[in-house]
Amino acid sequence: MSEGQNTVVCSFDPKSLRISGLDIHKWIYEQLHVPENVVTMVQIDRPRSQVYIKFTDLQYLQDLLYSTTGQSEYKHDNGEISQVKIEMAGMGTSRVRLANLPLKHQMRQ
């Protein structure tokens, strides 16, 4: 994901049980009450136990943050409840090192 505009990140407890992609989609629409037509993308980052939800408009993002006060719960099939932190996605910066590129693709100084 290249930019965090109109995007929230839902951080699940990393110690909780693994959640399927289908169950995450159901949770977004049934628990968070997010209409399908306002979501442009859902990205699951399993190693970090995070789900990114990109909205069509900033207003929907703000409405979600206001209605949830930045917290929600996920109830697993076995009854276990996991806490979920919801916040605006901040992408930050990353340093990338490229190696073994042919000379014709290297940047000129």
44, two tokens: 């699951």
Please tell me the distance from the alpha carbon of residue 4 to that of residue 17, in angstroms, as a whole number.
27
pLDDT in tens, 99-108: 776 666 555 5
**Is residue 55 very low, low, confident or very high in pLDDT (cuts 50, 70, 90)?**
very high
Please tell me the distance from the alpha carbon of residue 30 to that of residue 47, in angstroms, as a whole number.
24
Find the mean pLDDT for residues 12-22: 88
Please tell me the distance from the alpha carbon of residue 6 to that of residue 57, in angstroms, as a whole number.
6
Going along the chain from its start, the domains and CATH numbers come out as: 7-91 (3.30.70.330)
Q: What percent of the chain has pLDDT over 70?
A: 83
pLDDT in tens, 69-98: 999 999 998 989 999 999 998 755 566 777
DSSP state of 74: E
